Amino acid sequence: MTSTGPDPAPHQRLTALAQSISTTPTDGTADLPYTYLHTQMWARATNMIVRTEVRRWRRDADGSGQEITRRLPDLSGVDHQPERDERKLFAETPETLTRYRVDTLHPHLPEPLPTDAATLASALAPRELAAEPAYPRILIGGLVGLATSQYLNREQRAASLRVLATIPETKYLGKTVDLAGRPGLGFSVTADSSTSQLVIDPNSGEILAAQERVTGQRPGLFSYVLILERGHTASTATVAYP
């Protein structure tokens, strides 16, 4: 039967999504010692865009680990829109290995992460800033920072979606794909001269990609990040499932 009623509001859609998301194979790797994340990022740095690929292994017990990075030549100017063909260039760029001593690699928030949306929101952005125009931007920035720093299990992913649902400025953009061609659901938040867009996996609730563009005197790209792999590994010589 096809519904003839109005489309659900963004907060209703996100709340329903938080209730329906599934576990992933990597949810079963939590007993392994290293948190593994593989990202590609375009980020503003003064008058240029820096393009970096990072594979990071963080030993959760002591904050040690390593990163393997690839960096493309910086792009002059800030009004840039990342393109799929740029991603191919990372594979042609030399790798740089950096090892980190104990208590060097820190998560975005202390573990264990809260699974209550209100508690998580307070940890990501101080509640005393809730009336400030920048608060939605700070909050969504915290969600992206969390997803690009730590592994979120099903309950924590659901809590993140419920936090996003509490932001009045959140809009639903419909079905979309990220820069890696992965299908997802698009959501945006506009606040404080900034528009952030998220691509969320409708099955797992994972943030696949996040983009922020700013307006003002120097409009253009602020950041774009792809979260390509995430999980836990037995050592720095291995990658996450599969």
Dump pLDDT digits (tens) for 14-64: 999 999 999 999 999 999 999 999 999 999 999 999 999 999 999 999 999
pLDDT of 4 above 70: no
- Beta-strand ranges (E) seen in 60-114 are 65-76, 96-100
What's residue 6's pLDDT? Answer: 76
Sign of CA dihedral 143, 144, 146, 151: positive
What's residue 241's pLDDT? Answer: 54
* The two three-digit tokens of residue 209, written as one number: 């990609």
Spatial separation of the C-alpha atoms in residues 226 and 217, rounded to whole Å: 27
Report the alpha-carbon angle 235-224-93, nearest 5: 55
Pick the closest to residue 142 from 240, 159, 13, 10 (CA basis).
159
User: pLDDT for 80-118, tens place per residue?
Assistant: 999 999 999 999 999 999 999 999 999 999 999 999 999
pLDDT band at 1 (very low <50, low <70, confident <90, very high): very low
What's residue 7's pLDDT? Answer: 86
Pick the closest to residue 147 from 69, 64, 70, 208 (CA basis).
208
pLDDT band at 242 (very low <50, low <70, confident <90, very high): very low
What's residue 2's pLDDT? Answer: 44
Long-range pairs for 94-99: beta carbons < 8 A, 24 or more residues apart: 94/70, 95/68, 95/69, 95/70, 96/68, 96/69, 96/70, 96/71, 97/66, 97/67, 97/68, 98/66, 98/67, 98/68, 98/69, 99/65, 99/66
Rg of the chain in Å (alpha carbons): 18
% of the chain exceeding 90 in pLDDT: 93
What's residue 75's pLDDT? Answer: 97
Task: Calculate mean pLDDT across residues 116-144.
Answer: 95
pLDDT of 240 above 80: no
* The two three-digit tokens of residue 24, written as one number: 């992933």
Instruction: Kindly report the pTM of this predicted structure.
Output: 0.95
- Buried b vs exposed e over 29-43: b needs ≥16 C-beta within 10 Å? beebbbbbbbbbbbe
Q: Are 175 and 127 in contact (CB under 8 A)?
A: no
Read off φ and ψ for residue 190, nearest 5 degrees.
-115, 125
User: pLDDT for 218-234, tens place per residue?
Assistant: 899 999 999 999 999 99
User: pLDDT for 197-226, tens place per residue?
Assistant: 999 999 999 999 999 999 988 899 999 999
